[in-house]
C-alpha cells in the first residue's frame, strides 16, 4: 500500500504539468468603427461621421479623403480633433453606401450609411434656345415661359457700388404642353424685350411686368395674356418705382408684385396687390425682411412665402448680402410672419443665402432651390447651386430633396397638376475684381416627389 504522501506528490506533479497545445485565436472584433448622423440621407446631403474607437483620431493633417462608393466627398471638415468628421456626399444612387475614410496612417471602412430617394428628375424636351431670368407659370395643363435672355450677362456686385448689367434681352413667349412633351412659340410679348421681369397667373390669364432691357431702361408697365383667346392687353402700370428682379405671385384671385431693385440702384421692399376684377393696384404692407432683389415668392393656399435674395450690401453687417430668411405673407390680414430659416441640422446653422433661386408650390408644400450661394466678399464666384429643398408650412420645417440636375441660377420653373418643371438658368464665372460673366443654359427637367 502506497503511503498517502506519495499519492499527494504524484497528484501535485500532474497538476503542475504545463499544457503546450496551441491556444485558439481571439474572436474577431466585429464592432463598427464608424457611425453616421443621420444614418439615412439623400444624394448630395451632409453627414457627420463619428469614430467609435479610441484608437482612431481624426485630424486635418492625417485625413486624405472620404470615399462614398469610391466617389470623393466634398467640404470635409474636422469638427472635433478626436472624434468627428463632416462631409457633403456626392451624387449617389439609393441604397447602402460603402464609406472609406482614408488617412495617412490607416483606412477605415463602414457600410452603415443608406441613401434614399425623395425626388425624381426626368429630362424632358428642351425649349428651342437657352434662357435665364425669364418669367414662368403653369396654367391648366400647360406651362409658359416668356422674356428673359439667351446670351452672355456681365455684371458687377460690390458693397456700396451699383449693379451694372449688359447683355441681350428678348420678348419671346413659349408654351410647353406636358401631354405631348413639346414646345410651341406664341405671339411675342408686346411690351418689348426684357430680362428679370416679374409675373403671376390667375385663372386662364398670365400677368407680367417690370424688368430691364440691358440698355439702361427699367420698367413699371404691366400686361396680361389670355391663354384661351390668345391675345395681349396692356393694364395700368405698377404705381411705384420701375424695377427689375422683383417677386411675383398670386394668392387666390389677386396677384402681387414687390421687392426688386430700381433703375437708380435702390433695393426695394414695397409690395403691391393687383385686382383683375377692378383692374387696379393697392399698396400692401412692406416686406419686413428689407429691400432685396433676386428673391423668391410663391403663393400657396391663403398665404405666400417670400424670402432669400440679395440685400443692400451697405445695410447688411459685414456686407454679406446673400439672405437666408423666409416670410409668410397673409393678404387677408395684410400681415407678415417670420418662418424658419432653411437650416443645416447637423451644424445647427442657417444654410448659405441664395440669390435668384427658383421655386414652386406642389401638393401643399413649397419647393425651392438652385441659385447663387456665394458670400459677397468671396472670389472666385460660385458656379451656381443644385440643392433643392421642401418647405412644409404645416410644420414650419425644411427637408433636403435629391439635387436638381441644374447647377445654376436664374432658372425658370412651373407646376402642372402633380408635376413640376425646371429649366434654363445660367452658370457664373468670376474674378478677383468682383466682376462676373454668366452663360445661358438650355436644360429642362420634370420634378416628381417620391412618396
pTM here is 0.85
Rounded Cα–Cα distance for residues 430 and 425 (Å) = 17
Burial class from Cβ neighbours inside 10 Å (0-12, 13-18, 19+) for residue 77 reads middle
Rounded Cα–Cα distance for residues 21 and 42 (Å) = 54
Per-residue confidence in pLDDT tens, the chain, 451 aa? 445 444 443 444 444 444 555 544 444 444 578 889 889 999 888 888 888 888 888 888 888 888 899 888 877 888 776 666 666 777 888 999 999 988 898 888 888 899 999 999 999 999 998 899 999 999 999 999 999 998 755 554 444 444 455 567 899 999 999 999 999 999 999 999 999 999 999 999 999 999 999 888 999 999 999 999 999 999 999 999 999 999 999 999 999 999 999 999 899 999 999 999 999 999 999 999 999 999 999 999 999 999 999 988 777 655 557 888 999 999 999 999 999 988 665 555 456 688 899 999 999 999 999 988 754 334 444 457 888 999 999 999 999 899 998 888 899 999 999 999 999 998 766 554 455 566 788 999 999 999 8
Helix (H) or strand (E) holding 7: helix 4-16
Can you list the domains of the chain with their CATH numbers? Answer: 34-116 (2.60.40.10), 119-449 (2.120.10.80)
3-state helix, strand, coil in the chain (%, to 5): 5, 50, 50
Question: What are the DSSP calls for 67-117, one per residue?
Answer: EETTEE-EEEEESSSSSEEEEE-----SEEEEEEEEESS-EEEEEEEEEE-
Amino acid at each position: 500500500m502506497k503511503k498517502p504522501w506519495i499519492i499527494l506528490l504524484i497528484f501535485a506533479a500532474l497538476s503542475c504539468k504545463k499544457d503546450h497545445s496551441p491556444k485558439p485565436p481571439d474572436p474577431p472584433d466585429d464592432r463598427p468603427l464608424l457611425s453616421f448622423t443621420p444614418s439615412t440621407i439623400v444624394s448630395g446631403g451632409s453627414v457627420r461621421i463619428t469614430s467609435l474607437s479610441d484608437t482612431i483620431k481624426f485630424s486635418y493633417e492625417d485625413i486624405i479623403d472620404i470615399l462614398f462608393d469610391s466617389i470623393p466627398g466634398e467640404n470635409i471638415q474636422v469638427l472635433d480633433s478626436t472624434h468627428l468628421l463632416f462631409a457633403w456626399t456626392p451624387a449617389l444612387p439609393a441604397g447602402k453606401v460603402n464609406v472609406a475614410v482614408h488617412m495617412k496612417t490607416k483606412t477605415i471602412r463602414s457600410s452603415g450609411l443608406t441613401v434614399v430617394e425623395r425626388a425624381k428628375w426626368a429630362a424632358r424636351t428642351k425649349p428651342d434656345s437657352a434662357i435665364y431670368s425669364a418669367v414662368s407659370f403653369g396654367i391648366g395643363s400647360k406651362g409658359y415661359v416668356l422674356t428673359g435672355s439667351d446670351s452672355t450677362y456681365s455684371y458687377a456686385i460690390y458693397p456700396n457700388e451699383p449693379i451694372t448689367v449688359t447683355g441681350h434681352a428678348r420678348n419671346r413667349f413659349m408654351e410647353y404642353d406636358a401631354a405631348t412633351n413639346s414646345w410651341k412659340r406664341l405671339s411675342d410679348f408686346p411690351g418689348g424685350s426684357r430680362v428679370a421681369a416679374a409675373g403671376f397667373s390667375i385663372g386662364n390669364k398670365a400677368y407680367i411686368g417690370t424688368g430691364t432691357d440691358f440698355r439702361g431702361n427699367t420698367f413699371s408697365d404691366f400686361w396680361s395674356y389670355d391663354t384661351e383667346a390668345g391675345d395681349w392687353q396692356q393694364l395700368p402700370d405698377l404705381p411705384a418705382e420701375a424695377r427689375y428682379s422683383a417677386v411675383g405671385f398670386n394668392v387666390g384671385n389677386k396677384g402681387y408684385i414687390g421687392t426688386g431693385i430700381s433703375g437708380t440702384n435702390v433695393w426695394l421692399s414695397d409690395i403691391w396687390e393687383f385686382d383683375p376684377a377692378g383692374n387696379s393696384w393697392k399698396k400692401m404692407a412692406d416686406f419686413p425682411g428689407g429691400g432685396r432683389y433676386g428673391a423668391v415668392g410663391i403663393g400657396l393656399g391663403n398665404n405666400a412665402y417670400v424670402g432669400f435674395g440679395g440685400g443692400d450690401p451697405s445695410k447688411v453687417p459685414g456686407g454679406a448680402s446673400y439672405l437666408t430668411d423666409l416670410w409668410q405673407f397673409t393678404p387677408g390680414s395684410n400681415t407678415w410672419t417670420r418662418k424658419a430659416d432653411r437650416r443645416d441640422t447637423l451644424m445647427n446653422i442657417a444654410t448659405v443665402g441664395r440669390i435668384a433661386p427658383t421655386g414652386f408650390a406642389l401638393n401643399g408644400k413649397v419647393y425651392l432651390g438652385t441659385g447663387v450661394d456665394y458670400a459677397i466678399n468671396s472670389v472666385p464666384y460660385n458656379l451656381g447651386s443644385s440643392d433643392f429643398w421642401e418647405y412644409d408650412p404645416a410644420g414650419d420645417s425644411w427637408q433636403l430633396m435629391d439635387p436638381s440636375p441644374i447647377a445654376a441660377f436664374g432658372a425658370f420653373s412651373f407646376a402642372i397638376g402633380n408635376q413640376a418643371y425646371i429649366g434654363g438658368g445660367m452658370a457664373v464665372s468670376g474674378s478677383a475684381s468682383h466682376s462676373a460673366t454668366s452663360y445661358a443654359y438650355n436644360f429642362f427637367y420634370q420634378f416628381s416627389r417620391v412618396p
